[in-house]
Each structure stands twice: as structure tokens, then as C-alpha cells.
Structure 1
Amino acid sequence: MVESSSDHPAFCWARANGWAMLTACELLDVLPENYPQRDKVMAYFRAHVRGVTALQSGEGLWHQLLDRNDSYLETSATAIYVYCLAHAICKGWIDPIAYGPVAQLGWNAVSGKINAEGQVEGTCVGTGMAFDPAFYYYRPVNVYAAHGYGPVIWAGAEMIRLLKTLHPKMNDSALQYYTTKQATAAPIFSVPTAE
């Protein structure tokens, strides 16, 4: 909110949404299970997860402005979302079948942004708040934007944990995450044939 202004900018900046989602994960990690408002916090977190995951690009990254597909694809926000999704799946807060593939697609995209020198490409430099979309569209990216490295490391570590906790399997050409190892090769979706 801007003091002395009755109207405020309303841009869905990806990394700001990431920090909010990460904060919710951190809060849920330490909030006692019997805390009276825990269910409310969890409901907000799950709604945020649903909203953000619906905006993932086909490449697996999220846009600098989440709801504007003509803004560039940004790495640090994507890494934060991957960490939060994988963490929430491992904690049992969200459905692995629905969100495991989202996290995996995001991680595949993020890992592709690590160059041969170990630098993270595609991270927007430090950003404040602005009153026009051009500010966000034209913020530069830089491999020296240090706030991209921590989220990438968190995301990678949490994806390792996810892969050790659950059982990913290709099913009918789609990746699915299962809570138990699947012994069948039958597709999850099939139509019985008449004999």
C-alpha cells in the first residue's frame, strides 16, 4: 500500500507471490497442529497454490507478471514455487497426484537455467513496487542476482526429498506421483473394451 494514495498498483508480480507462499510454508511448519486458526491458514495456502499453479507456462516456468503471458519467464519465482509445492506435498498438505507433476515440470525448467559455470540465468534483479506494468516487463535479469541462488538450492533439495518420499511413474504418457509404489503397467485412465 502506498501512503497518500487512494488507489494502489495491482500487479501480480511472480517473486512477491513466491515470498508470500514461502512465508506460508514457514508458518505452517511451526504452527502447532492444534492452533485454532491453522485450518484457515492452510485454506489460504491451498488457494494460493491453486491460483499460482493454474498460471504455469508450458515450459514449466512462471511469468514475471503471473497473469500476463507476454511478460518474460522468471527463474527465481519458479524456484520458490517448486520448493513450496514439493515441501507441501512431502508434508501432506496438498495432493501429490495434482501437484507433483507441476513441481517436476517447474524443476526441469529451473535446472535448465543453471549454466555451465553454475550460474542461475533468468532471475529478475531486485525489484520494488511500481504503478505501471512496463516497470516489471523491463526489469533486467542477471546471473549476479543473488536472490535466485537460494531458491534454486532449496527447490533442488526439496525435489530430492520428494523423489525419495513418493513414487513418480509415467502413466499414459503423463507423470504421476503416487504415495505407494505402483506395480501395474495399466494406465490410470482406461476404457474397458467389450469382449
Structure 2
Amino acid sequence: MIDAPADDWGMNIENWDWVPGVGVISILEYGQLAGDATAIEYLRRWTERNKHKSEQVKVINSMAPYAIFPTLYRITGERWYLDTATKIGDWMLTEAPRTHDGAFEHTVTEDAQFSDQAWADTLFMAVIFLARLARLTGDSKYAKEAEFQLLVHLRLLQDPETGVLFHGWNGAEGNHMSAARWARANAWVILSAPWIAAEIKDLTPLSDEIIERYQQLAAGLRQYQRESGLWNTVLDQSKFAEETSGSAGIAAGWLAGMRIGWLDPTYKEAAEKALQGVEEFIDPDGTVQGVSGGTPVMPDIPAYHQIPCYPTLYGQGLVLILLSLAYTEMGESM
């Protein structure tokens, strides 16, 4: 994860955007669960090398790296982490573009506009940070916003028939665009929701609707799990490739949901099955294969099948999170 050349978009961690953001979030999760101080020290040095790049971008999709700041502040006591995180959190509350429903508009660093659109990705890329900032500062304004964003995204994106999520919502048109039940979109939410809730539960009441919708999502995903333990790139398209990053994120989300008490222990067996399927895509050197490339909301469902697969930091990261959680939750039985 840390040695790729600068011209490798998918694996270059020396950047400030969502891809390296998922990378550093996963390294933090591993470092905390494994008690590996070298991982935390790597993140401190990574931030020192790359913090100047953060000043060049201020969009929702580039909030992801800030999610490591609260922990780094607790460990180092360096005031810069707290001051920067607070400044960014206040920007999100007061200036970040929103849809007319109040959801954060999914703004990106690329030269593209997704006006009045809410995407599943946003919860992982931005709201995890906001929830962690809430816990760090004890300020309920961040917690209330994180709770609202979680609820509004579930309301906008959840399919009432299957329980799973559509990739995005277009508020201006009042539809889900291509209406793709994209696996990685569901992974971002099934994993980030319990993480967000764990950070804010002591600061603001959590809507019962969030838990109910989360449980419907988890159950819906169970229905689409393949015999291999994995999920297709688009959940209900059985002829599409089985995709590693989404599968790892879904299984990790189940484990996180069990940990917070939202899911019953029967999900453990399904998560173990997914873990076994994911392990088949890990090369001896640790490279994760079968990861679909960066994917906006595509114009139609067949277009998702055309996205090429190649190693990426978010693929590595979601698998690392799964492995770390699996070892913690399942121990030697994994």
C-alpha cells in the first residue's frame, strides 16, 4: 500500500483525495486493532508529508484523510491536528454544498459536477470524519450533523423492495439515475454506519429508523451473496464479475454491525464465507486483485460491467479492514 509509484492513480498514497483517504483510514484501523504502533507512526509521517496538499482541495470526496486526525491528535497532542479538523468540520457544516434534501452534495476533485446528487460514497468519505470530530471535541453540533447525514442518505438511497442501496440519488430529477444496486456503494454504507454510530451515540440521540434501515440493508445484502462468498459488481446482475472491494467492505460492515449490537451472530458465518472468497484474490505479495476501478454513477447498469479491474488503495484498504476485524472478532477461527 505504501510503495506504489506516483503515476499509479489507484495505488499512489502520496496524495490528498478519497483513494489515499481510504488507504490511511484502513491503516489506522489495522494499527488500532492490532496494537501496531509502527502503523500509527507511519500515518503521522504521511500527514507531515502531505498536509500541504490538503490546502489545494476542499470537496466532500477529499474529506476522507481527515478521518485519521482525531486519533493522531489524541496520540501526539499536536494542536495542529485539532485546529485543522475543527476548521474542516465547520466548513462542512456551514459551507459544503448540499442537495435540497440537506444531504452533502457529492463534490469531487475531478473536473465534474454532480449537482443536487447524493451518493452512498459520501458517508465513508466525509461523515466518518465528522463523527470522529464530534467524539474528539464533545461538540454535539458535529454529532447531530453526522446523524442527520446518515439518516438522510439511507432514506434517499434505500430500495424499499430489496433493502439494499442504489448508488446515487438525483434530487433535481427525483430519481436514482441508472438505479444500479452497486456493490461498493452498499459496502461504504454497511461499514460506515456502525462506525459513525459508535462515535456519536453518547452525544446525540440516534434515530431508531437508522438501525431499522441498517438491519434491512444487512438482510438484503445476505440475499445477494454468491456461493463463492462474494457479490457481483452490481448486486442483482449475476453475469457481472464478482468484485473484491465491495465484498470485503460488506463483510467488514457485518462484523462492525455485530460489534455494535445491531446484527445478530448469524451474520458471522456469512462474513466468514465472504472472507474465504476474498482471500482467493490476494496475491502472495499482498496485492488484492478483482477490484473495480473508480466508478461514478454510470449512465446505465451495463456500463458498470465495463469498469476495468486493477489493484487500488481502496481495494487494499477494505480488505485490510476486513482482515483486521475478522481477526479481532473471530480470532484463530477465521
Please report the TM-score for the alignment, with normalisation by the length of structure 1. Answer: 0.77
Correspondence 1:157 to 2:290: no
Is the strand fraction higher in 1 or 2?
A: 1
Residues 38-83 of structure 1, C-alpha deviations (whole Å, 9 max, x = no match): 3221111111100111100000010100011111100000110111
Query: Shift of the alpha carbon at 1:93?
Result: 1.9
- Among 103, 121, 126, the alignment partner of 2:271 is 103
Work out whether residues 179 and 301 of structure 2, in 8 Å CA contact, stay in contact via their aligned partners in 1: no
Residues 104-128 of structure 1, C-alpha deviations (whole Å, 9 max, x = no match): 0000111111012211010001011
- Among 66, 79, 84, the alignment partner of 2:235 is 66
Paired positions, count: 165
In structure 2, the residue corresponding to 1:93 is in which secondary structure? coil
Task: Sort the Cα spacing of 1:3 and 1:48 in 2 relative to 1 into closer, same or farther, 3 A.
Answer: closer
Which residue type is aligned with residue 117 of structure 1? D
Correspondence 1:31 to 2:200: yes
Correspondence 1:116 to 2:245: no
Residues 104-153 of structure 1, C-alpha deviations (whole Å, 9 max, x = no match): 0000111111012211010001011122122101111002x221011101
Task: Sort the Cα spacing of 1:75 and 1:36 in 2 relative to 1 into closer, same or farther, 3 A.
Answer: same
Which residue type is aligned with residue 100 of structure 1? K
Work out whether residues 194 and 260 of structure 2, in 8 Å CA contact, stay in contact via their aligned partners in 1: no
Output the CA distance in 2 between the equivalents of 1:33 and 1:95.
22
Residues 125-184 of structure 1, C-alpha deviations (whole Å, 9 max, x = no match): 1011122122101111002x22101110100010011114xx96xxxxxxxxxxxxxxxx
Output the CA distance in 1 between the equivalents of 2:329 and 2:189.
22
Work out whether residues 89 and 162 of structure 1, in 8 Å CA contact, stay in contact via their aligned partners in 2: no
Which residue type is aligned with residue 299 of structure 2? F
Which residue type is aligned with residue 84 of structure 1? G
Query: Shift of the alpha carbon at 1:3?
Result: 6.8
In structure 2, the residue corresponding to 1:54 is in which secondary structure? helix
- Among 301, 304, 315, the alignment partner of 1:148 is 315
In structure 1, the residue corresponding to 2:224 is in which secondary structure? coil
Work out whether residues 122 and 142 of structure 1, in 8 Å CA contact, stay in contact via their aligned partners in 2: yes
Output the CA distance in 2 between the equivalents of 1:61 and 1:141.
15
Which residue type is aligned with residue 124 of structure 1? S
Which residue type is aligned with residue 148 of structure 1? G
Q: Sequence identity, in percent?
A: 25
Output the CA distance in 1 between the equivalents of 2:210 and 2:171.
28
What residue is the counterpart of 1:188 in the other structure? none
Matches within 5 A, 1:165-184: none
Which residue type is aligned with residue 149 of structure 1? Q
Output the CA distance in 2 between the equivalents of 1:16 and 1:155.
16
Residues 10-48 of structure 1, C-alpha deviations (whole Å, 9 max, x = no match): 010110111122221222212326844432211111111
Output the CA distance in 2 between the equivalents of 1:54 and 1:34.
34
Work out whether residues 28 and 42 of structure 1, in 8 Å CA contact, stay in contact via their aligned partners in 2: no
Work out whether residues 215 and 263 of structure 2, in 8 Å CA contact, stay in contact via their aligned partners in 1: yes
Matches within 5 A, 1:119-134: 119-134=287-302
Pairwise CA RMSD: 2.1
Task: Sort the Cα spacing of 1:6 and 1:92 in 2 relative to 1 into closer, same or farther, 3 A.
Answer: closer
What residue is the counterpart of 1:136 in the other structure? 304
Query: Shift of the alpha carbon at 1:92?
Result: 2.4
